[in-house]
Amino acid sequence: MSDIRKEIEKRRTFAIISHPDAGKTTLTEKFLLYGGAIQEAGMVKGKRQSKHAVSDWMEIEKQRGISVTSSVLQFNYDGFCINILDTPGHQDFSEDTYRTLMAADSAVMVIDGSKGVEDQTRKLFKVCAMRHIPIFTFINKMDREAKDPYELMEEIERELGVETCAVNWPIGCGKDFKGVYERKKEEVIRFMPVQGGKKEVDVEICDAHDESLKEKIGDLLYQQLQDDIELLDGAGAEFDLERVQRGELSPVCFGSALTNFGVEPFLKHFLDMTTSPLPRNSNIGEIDPLSEDFSAFVFKIQANMNKAHRDRMAFMRICSGKFTKGMEVFHYQGNKKIKLNQSKQIMAENREEVEEAYSGDIIGVFDPGIFSIGDTICMPKNKFAYEGIPTFAPEHFAMIRNTDTMKRKQFVKGVEQIAQEGAIQIFTELGGGMEEIIVGVVGVLQFEVLAYRLKNEYNVDIVNTPLPYQYIRWIKNKEIDLKKLNLSSDTKKVQDLKGQYLLLFSNEWGVRWANDKNPDLQLAEFSNN
Query: With contact defined as beta carbons under 8 Å apart, do 12 and 271 qualify?
Result: yes
Q: Name the 3-class secondary structure at 100.
A: helix
In order of their start, the domains of the chain are 10-70+77-171+237-273 (3.40.50.300), 280-378 (2.40.30.10), 390-528 (3.30.70.3280)
The pLDDT tens digits of the residues spanning 285-305 come to 999 999 889 999 998 887 655
Q: Is the confidence at residue 116, as pLDDT, over 80? A: yes
Task: Give the strands of the sheet with 523-524, arranged side by side.
Answer: 462-467, 396-402, 436-441, 425-429, 492-495, 501-505, 471-475, 523-524
Quick one: average pLDDT of 471-488?
87
Percent of all residues in the chain with a pLDDT value above 70, rounded to a whole number: 83
- What is the pLDDT at residue 308? 55
Q: Does 63 or 372 have the greater pLDDT score? A: 372
The model carries a pTM of 0.75
The type of residue at 130 is M
Task: For residue 528, name the pLDDT band (cuts at 50, 70, 90).
Answer: low
In the chain, pLDDT over 90 holds for what percent of residues?
Answer: 19
Report the pLDDT value the prediction gives residue 220, as an integer from 0 to 100: 83
pLDDT digits (tens, 9 = 90+) for 388-436: 776 667 888 999 988 888 888 999 888 888 887 777 888 988 877 777 7
**For 125-157, what is each residue's pLDDT tens digit?**
777 777 788 999 999 888 888 888 899 989 988
Nearest to 318 by CA among 277, 367, 370: 277
Choose the weakest-confidence range: 40-54, 238-252, 347-361: 40-54
CA 12 → CA 7, 104, 135, 227, 245, distances in Å? 11, 9, 14, 36, 13
Q: What is the 3-state secondary structure (H, E, C) of 44-94?
A: CCCCCCCCCCCCCCCHHHHHHCCCCCCEEEEEEECCEEEEEEECCCCHHHH
- What value does the mean pLDDT take over residues 177-206? 72
Q: Which amino acid is at 487?
A: L
Q: How many DSSP H helices and E strands does the chain contain?
A: 13, 33
